[in-house]
Amino acid sequence: MAIAALIPIFASLINLDHPGHYITVGVISISVANFVVVVLMVVVFLLAIFLRFPKSKEHQA
Amino acid sequence: MTTFLDDKSRETIVSGLPEDHDMWTNKVRRKFYGKLPPEKLLPDRQPSYVSSWIYVFGVLTVSALVVVLLSGAILAFKGPSWWHESGEGHFVNSLHLWSVEFFFFFMVIHLWGKFFMASWRGKRAMTWVTGMLAFLASVGTAFTGYLSQLNFDSQWISTQAKDGLNAAGVGSFFNVLNFGQMLMWHIVLLPLVVGIIVGIHVVMVRLRGVVHPFPPKGAKTHPADDMPWTGKYRRYDILKEGTIAMAIVLILTILFSVVFSSPDEKSITLQSWAQNDPIDFVTTATSELAGTSVSAAYSYPYNYVPDAGQKLGPFSLPSIFGVTIPVNPAQDFVLKPLETVVYNPALTSALQSYNSASTAQQTSWLDNYTKALDKATASGGQVIVRNGTYGPVPEMMSSLLVMARSGGLDTSLLSGNGFYGTDYTKPLLFLADSGYMAGIAQAQHLTGSQWGMMNETGNYPGQAWLWLYTFFYQIKPMSTSGNADVLVWALMIGLSGIMVAVPFIPGLRAIPEKTKLYRFIWKDYYRDEESKKV
């Protein structure tokens, strides 16, 4: 019960349940939330291919 | 207890006794073991070039899928209404939503990475094909999930999506307005399909291994794409990596669920519509009776309307299946529900008068009443129009409004399907004809011209992966065509087919080699190999 009572408090930490915000350029209209997701996807992809991966011991087959 | 095989080698056990070699079971075991021995299924070594962060997105995707399935299983266990009624349920719904967002997030990055590696090389085309099919099946599964939410978002998406599916002929047997059918697709059929395809995909990865890098500059020898790797290997603990990935996905999902929760815009009903906007309700109901509403003029799969319906060139795809979900708006939305009202002599008399009148007379009454509704006022739960020649129509509409405001019309439109009403086709079609529903959708930025198909209510991320589908509706000829839905569907099916078939399409499959983005992915390998030659 205590956990159930805490959930709405946690849930309202950052309340996204307000009227949405949108970016509109010509025929293109995208919600800020979707835009953030797409930008994050591109950024994470670029980081994934550019950042060095920890080196581990190699040996010949 | 010991058996005669206990002191035998693994190969001998797999092969079985010589006299058993003709047995089906024995043959399958030998074939399976030959192709996928344990060291391939659970490898502890990988070629040394498998040394980039991009490789972790496959296992992250599978981990997110596990969290999706687990959170979905809890939601299924408690039933479709639970998450609307309790804090715990809403929290589990949030886990489901965010794990789906992470699933697609990781899957798209995994897909981009595999594309730029040209990962279909060396007889690995089926690995790519199954990966793309898993992506497409996941989009379908997520779509049915949005339809199964039982809130306004799902109501609106279903009323909009039906046009595309109906235009493509799919709506004849895949009815997005039927909640029961969509829920079963979402929690049984499509997860099964996704699970099987992902399973095959993972086995294909284990079977063929990861694709080799393109040859380094100046390389004189390099293993062929379809041959085993002859270079260096490194340690690779697949179970440890999977466990870490699962922990990361779980932490992220719980964190996002706690911080952001999930949207749940309350669903609308015929009752709330009639209570909040009685004039719009009566105007829409009158158009249903007059046969001038969108639903009344809608052809397959609900009705046969000559020359109506969308066509792809000369072909009418929905006509192949015909009327599979019969709906007669005048009868189903207005007259039949009114006939269920008892102890109302004025209504009984009005219905008799309306039904015995000629079609011309009915049309005249309805035309006059429709025009009068333009200047109607609402007071005390009634719609008031100026005096005119409307016959029994005002009495009928007044009774229908009372019925709707009491919640009786919602029940009536569902009860035709039996006690367990899970098919919302009729109430949703009726609601979709209203200005009330469209007004709420407009305010929530969900309409077609607002790219609504990829939006979620509030500030939540929606189905961003539907961007191309939504985009096509905004440009000509689709934006001005009466056949927009079938054109967009044809385009999407064509493009999806191209994505699946990338390994077989010259030019398209050469893009990764031309862009050379792979040199960043395998940068350590190229640096080591190319420095040797200096």
Q: What domain range is B290 assigned to? A: 270-299+326-443
Residues B277 and B209 in one domain: no
Report the alpha-carbon angle B27-B30-B32, nearest 5.
Answer: 105
Position of tokens 């939540």?
B460
Q: Which of A4, A49, A58 sits opposite B521 (nearest CB)?
A: A49
Q: CB of B248 within 8 Å of any CB in chain A?
A: no
For residue B76, is it within any domain? yes
Residues B104 and B159 in one domain: yes
Query: Each residue of A29-40: pLDDT tens digit?
Result: 888 899 999 999
Under 8 Å between Cβ of B219 and B529: yes
Residues B56 and B81 in one domain: yes
Query: Each residue of B81-136: pLDDT tens digit?
Result: 899 999 999 999 999 999 999 999 999 999 999 999 999 999 999 999 999 999 99
Query: Each residue of B4-53: pLDDT tens digit?
Result: 667 778 778 888 888 888 999 999 989 998 888 888 888 888 999 999 99
Comparing B381 with B517, which gets the higher pLDDT?
Answer: B517
Query: Each residue of B404-458: pLDDT tens digit?
Result: 999 999 999 987 667 788 999 999 999 999 999 999 999 999 998 888 888 888 8
Residues B382 and B522 in one domain: no
Nearest to B464 by CA among A43, A32, A12, A2: A32
Residues B63 and B200 in one domain: yes
Residues B258 and B346 in one domain: no
State the nearest Cα–Cα gap between B11 and chain A, in angstroms: 22
Number of separate domains in chain B? 2
For A18, residues 6+ apart whose C-beta sits below 8 A from its C-beta are: B458, B459
For residue B496, is it within any domain? no
Q: What are phi and psi of B461, to 5 degrees?
A: -70, 145
Contact A61 B456 (CB under 8 A): no
Position of tokens 């529900």?
B337
d(CA B158, CA B170): 14
Task: Name the packing angle between helices A32-50 and B87-116 (round to 10°).
Answer: 50
> Which ipTM value was assigned to this complex?
0.88
Domain end (from B395, B425, B443): B443
Residues B86 and B229 in one domain: yes
For residue B489, is it within any domain? no
Q: Which B residues, 376 through 415, put their C-beta within 8 Å of a C-beta on chain A?
A: none
Interface with A, mutate which of B156, B451, B475, B519 (most A CBs under 10 A):
B451
Q: Where are the domains of chain A?
A: 21-53
Residues B337 and B235 in one domain: no
Residues B281 and B135 in one domain: no
Residues B227 and B275 in one domain: no
pLDDT category of residue A2 using cuts at 50, 70 and 90? low
Instruction: Go through B479-497 and write b for each residue having 16 or more CB atoms within 10 A of its CB, e for each that does not.
Output: eeeebbbbbbbbebeeebe
Write the CATH number for B137: 1.20.810.10
Domain end (from B395, B412, B443): B443
State the nearest Cα–Cα gap between B288 and chain A, in angstroms: 33
Q: Which of A34, A48, A50 sits opposite B57 (nearest CB)?
A: A48
Q: Which B residues, 88 through 107, put their C-beta within 8 Å of a C-beta on chain A?
A: 88, 90-91, 94, 101, 105
pLDDT at B246 over 90: yes
Contact A7 B260 (CB under 8 A): no
The pLDDT score that the predictor gives to residue B28 is 92
